[in-house]
Chains A and B, each alone.
Chain A
Amino acid sequence: MSEHSKSSPLPTYFVVFLALLVGTALTVYASGLDLARFNAAVALTIASIKATLVALFFMHIKGASEKLTKLVVIGALFFLLLLLGLTMTDYATRLWS
């Protein structure tokens, strides 16, 4: 935190804030387009970019001095992907049912 006090983080906060609002407008707009199979992919990509912006800049992951914090975040994402990924290897391949 001490290194942050030298230069104000406010411009970053406002840029991220605007990017989040633009992302929201963009995802609503994109949902009205016919992108065939890619509507969900586009929506989730925009959501993930927004979530990353919040985590990096609002939750200060980018400037975190403690590596353990980053490890916890990566660990949480890893286990979430395990949960979703491994389960879908089952459900997505049940072609016989």
Chain B
Amino acid sequence: MPDSSATGLHAEAHDPALLHHFAEPQQQRDAASLGMWVFLATEVMFFGGLFLAYLVYRLKYFGDFGAASKTLDVRLGATNTAVLICSSLTVVLAVWAAQTARRTLLIGSLGLTMILGLVFLGIKGVEYNDKFVEHHVPGASFSFEKVPIPGHPRQYSDPRHAQLFFSLYFVMTGLHALHMIIGLGIFLWLLTMAWKGRFTPEWHTPVEIGGLYWHFVDIIWIYLFPLLYLIDRHP
């Protein structure tokens, strides 16, 4: 709560952080966070369509998806998952630092979040490069060996169905990477604002809702990782 206990309209009008159409700072914060959550709900549906496409084709071409999934590098995928989890921790630390007016921790956490985001994209770039080298990128030069489908003797994976897996792989991880790049842009802006000392315990709404966005992108990856990398690794 603001330190001023005056309840007159005059006192509120002089609180620079409180916009005039809100009754109190808590209401203003709730409104901003609710708006972000509504946006995230639309994002759930946005990614939901892709998860649905994945689900339908995974069930239809079960063995082919398993064979294609096995060509992904689990160590890189798991490393990236850990990198994103670390970045989520630095984001909550940034929000806490803004709430408690710790400027150095705020700037450090925002910067560290950006570095972790860049590490994620770098590892993703290495993985994409591997896929180009192996001709696993859907298109004219796509090629995929007919490997035996586990558990089904004398059945071999169909390269066309494997190509479907890689199409979904590139669209889903690509859209996720695009969200990461947008997130990096948001965090660069937050870092600039924090550097200028614009955030106070009374007003740090951008850090909070920017953080919500970052965590959401983390949650998407939490689902992408097992669905794309881990579906058919057991013997």
Contacts and interface: CB of A to CB of B under 8 A. Distances in A.
Interface string A49-85: 0110011011100001110110011011101100110
A43 B215 contact: no
Contacts, number: 132
A24 B40 contact: no
Chain B, interface SS category = helix
A40 B215 CA distance: 24
Nearest to B57: A91
Interface residues of B, number: 50
A55 B218 CA distance: 10
Contacts of A46: 226
A13 B41 contact: no
Interface residues of A, number: 51
A88 B219 CA distance: 23
Contacts of B226: 27, 31, 43-44, 46-47
Contacts of B212: 59
Interface in B4-50: 26, 29-30, 33-34, 37-38, 40-41, 44-45, 48-49
